[in-house]
Amino acid sequence: MRSTMSCLMALGVNITGQGDVFTVNGVGSEGFRSPDDVLNAGNSGTTMRLMGGLLAAQPFFSVITGDQSLRSRPMDRLIHPLRHMGAEIWGRKNDSLAPLAIKGHRLRGITYKLPVASAQIKSAILIAGLFAEGNTTLIEPTPSRDHTERMISALGIKITRNNKTIELTPSVPEAPIDVRVPGDISSAAFWLVAGAIHPDAKLRILNVGINPTRSGIIDVLLEMGAKLKVDRIMKEGGEPLADISIESSELIGVRIKAGMIPRLIDEIPLVALAGACANGTTVIRGAQELRVKESDRIRTTVTELAKLGVDIEELPDGMVVNGGGSIRGGECKSYGDHRLAMTLGIASLVSQGEILLHDAEAVTVSYPSFWEELERIAI
């Protein structure tokens, strides 16, 4: 959020507020200004890709970069469709990596088949499509997270889905709206797994987003036999949210296939940890997209959990976890990956010895208060 806010403010958007409440004063479709300096997306792939869609439609030149991790993540999948819409974009290594230099133009709507199920790329094209002449149609291989579509619809802009096909008709939003952002289920997932694997736990997490394109962790934990309950379901800004209760559970291993992965992509390290604490074998396939996250999240998850005594095998597109063993202490590292760091933090709740984690501050990317929360519930 902070990286996105910083980029938008550099483009002339006035954002005020503190704590959990912010006010965004829009500048209209033609009010963005050329930034005075290079835009910085930090560690956020979402920021870089969504800003890429916005910048592609602006009548000025801009450059956007990020930290070392983000500069190693693939951007050709963003560049190609935006070029097809009429933007000029360049990047390092034959236009495949950031920093990205973008010269925006008047765009045209396109019909585009996404090569992978990526909510970030889909959202970037839809944002560019808001400024384009003509409709933009996207075809997904598998439905991915649909937060952008829901927000576009909430703003009164026509967007429809028919199975795997999304069609956007560009228009000016009817009016600004007030939105309460649901709690991030990717953050809540750490406490859900903690509650399930700990021998003496009972947790209740309030106001969690349960968007069906995001909530794979709930389905997987239920399949594993977790004592999990969802109640007080409501809706905010087109997004469903609810309270979730979880308690100590006897988990069993499961097989996760490729079709589930887009709904579970950020929680795979946690699923591996849950599998390590379950009876039986957990198999995860079709998750090759994890190779190009903040780290090679398949390899780093396998490597670090193995250090803690987990019987785990790396596959080209996933992993096999043989449960039933114990989590021991050990010395681990996060590779600068916030989700791996938090997974290892949750492992410490059930480990037989101390876990020493290097680069633990990586959690600040998505959950700055994680360690304080962990200490609070561990008392």
Positions marked active-site: 266
N-term to C-term CA, the chain: 30
Conformational region of residue 190, where left means phi above 0, alpha means psi within -120 to 50, and beta covers everything else: alpha
Q: Are 124 and 52 in contact (CB under 8 A)?
A: yes
Q: Is the peptide bond before 99 cis (omega within 30 degrees of 0)?
A: yes
Q: What is the gyration radius of the CA atoms in the chain, in angstroms?
A: 21
Using CA atoms, how far apart are residues 270 and 289, in angstroms rounded to an integer?
16
Beta-carbon contacts of 262 under 8 Å, excluding residues fewer than 6 positions away, are 117, 119, 142, 143, 144, 145, 213, 216
* Beta strands per DSSP E along the chain: 14-18, 21-25, 39-40, 61-65, 88-91, 97-103, 111-113, 136-139, 159-162, 165-168, 202-209, 227-236, 239-247, 255-256, 281-284, 311-315, 318-322, 330-333, 355-358
The CA distance from 276 to 298, in Å, is 15
Amino acid making up residue 77: R
Query: Distance between CA atoms of 16 and 276, rounded to whole angstroms?
Result: 45
The DSSP secondary structure of 131-155, one letter per residue, reads TSBS-EEEE-SS----HHHHHHHHT
Identity of residue 339: R
**Residue 247: both structure tokens together:** 């308690």
Contact 249, 262 (CB under 8 A): no
Q: State the CB neighbour count (10 A cutoff) for residue 372.
A: 8
φ, ψ for residue 137, nearest 5 deg: -120, 130
321 within 8 A of 272, measured Cβ to Cβ:
yes
